[in-house]
Amino acid sequence: MPSETSPRPGRPRDADKDLAVLIAARQLLAEVGYAQATVVAIAKRAGVNTPAIYRRWPTRQALLEEAVHGPGGHTLPEPTGDLRADLATWVRVFLARADSPAARAGVPGLLADSQTEEARRRLLAIGTPVRKAFAELLGSAVDDGRIALGADVDLIFEILSGTTTFHALLRDAEEGEDFVARLADALYVLASAGR
């Protein structure tokens, strides 16, 4: 009789299939929009069957959340020791993610469909590694005396995330570097102010 800690029977998840599904979801979001990016269409594009998708993601919304808000090929910036420059890099990465065709098509629909506590928990879970890396960036700046203890890391992260998303959805991307500089300056002031 298997123990509670024994692995479940069956094959392990195939990371290549996971990636193929996420890529297909991003492509379809960009090409046909949120409403038409169905599980059936995503499965067909990825070359998998729909049960394979539902074994990985419990709902269409969960899949599209990960496609839009998951890593998506953008690696997290490495700290350089210059907090102002590091914040500008974080703004560029967040802006690039928010300005992707999949995010521009998917974010409005996901926001409309994310009114449940479960949906909010999923979104927070997807963003946990990114939040952690951002907190470590500010923590190291506190540790070496570049900023004072007490910066509200969660608030600064949410300003970064929300402002870049709003900007990408509603503003012209041509003002990119000016926007990056202004937002990085504002985040730096907030981080430096402490409590």
pLDDT in tens, 114-149: 778 887 787 777 778 888 999 999 999 988 888 888
The pTM assigned to this predicted structure is 0.79
What CA–CA distance (Å, rounded) separates 50 from 81? 46
CA distances from 9 to 2, 24, 86, 107 (A): 10, 28, 45, 37
CA 146 to chain centroid, in Å, comes to 27
What CA–CA distance (Å, rounded) separates 11 from 9? 7
Give me the percent of the chain exceeding a pLDDT of 90.
Answer: 50
DSSP state of 81: S
Q: Is 23 helix (H, G, I), strand (E, B) or coil?
A: helix
159: CB partners within 8 A, 6+ apart? 186, 187, 190
Cβ-based burial of 121 (10 A; exposed 0-12, middle 13-18, buried ≥19): exposed
What is the pLDDT, as a whole number, of residue 2? 44
**58-89: per-residue pLDDT in tens?**
999 999 999 998 765 567 888 999 999 999 99
